[in-house]
Copies of this chain bind each other. A is one copy, B any other.
Amino acid sequence: MTRRLDAQMTFLTEACKLKSVNRATTLCDGSRRENSGEHSWHIALYAMTLAEHAPGNVDISRVIQMLLIHDLVEIDAGDAPVFGSHDATAIEAEERAAAQRIFGLLPEGQGTVFLDLWTEFEANQSPDAQFAKSLDRFQPPNQNLASGGGSWVEYKVDYPTIEARVGNKIANGAPALWDWIAPRIQAWFGR
């Protein structure tokens, strides 16, 4: 038991580094960039708060656990801003290697459980993963609306780009949330 705990504590101390990975999105007050640790907290709180807008077959406790670990790979791979241009295949390989290293710090059986949960999130096929992925895409536009544009201004994006890169993923797992925010984003661009 002590050796399992040693491994778990190594993992949890390594996880601390996620607080130093910065994202493109700023805080709601625009004062600084958001980091991936606090972002992970915020969207887990989104899941807890918005559970009633998930399809009926979604297990919100699994969604929350997925969201708590979904960004840990960024400790090695960094954050790839959604409006940036990337080599998707290269990022995927880098994130997969990161997942194996980081979840590999855990005791053997537990590392596999965490890795499987992360893989399920990335695949975006199960209802839990689709709702989790929707929340991950739904939070940044809310922060941009609150801060006066945020990463939309920095990356010079327009509404059709947001609809294509973000809207489809939100609508896929949480149609009610996309219906709610789409007109607000349109109004912002038409201001």
Contacts and interface: CB of A to CB of B under 8 A. Distances in A.
A2, A4, A5, A41: which has the most chain B beta carbons within 10 Å? Answer: A41
Contacts of A53: 1, 5
Contacts of A151: none
Contacts of A142: 9, 12-13
Given A64-B65, A176-B1, A19 B48 contact: no
A168 interface: no
Interface string A1-37: 1101100110111011111100000011101001101
A65 B63 CA distance: 12
B12 A45 contact: yes
A147 to B, nearest CB: 9
| Interface size class of chain A, counting residues whose CB lies under 8 Å from the partner chain | 35 or more
A146 to B, nearest CB: 5
Contact of A40 (B11, B35, B41, B106): B41
Interface in A46-69: 46, 48-50, 52-53, 61, 64-65, 68-69
Interface string A113-142: 000000000000000000000000001001
B42 A12 contact: yes
Contacts of A40: 41
A34 B19 contact: yes
A65 to B, nearest CB: 6
Contact of A29 (B12, B20, B38, B49): B20
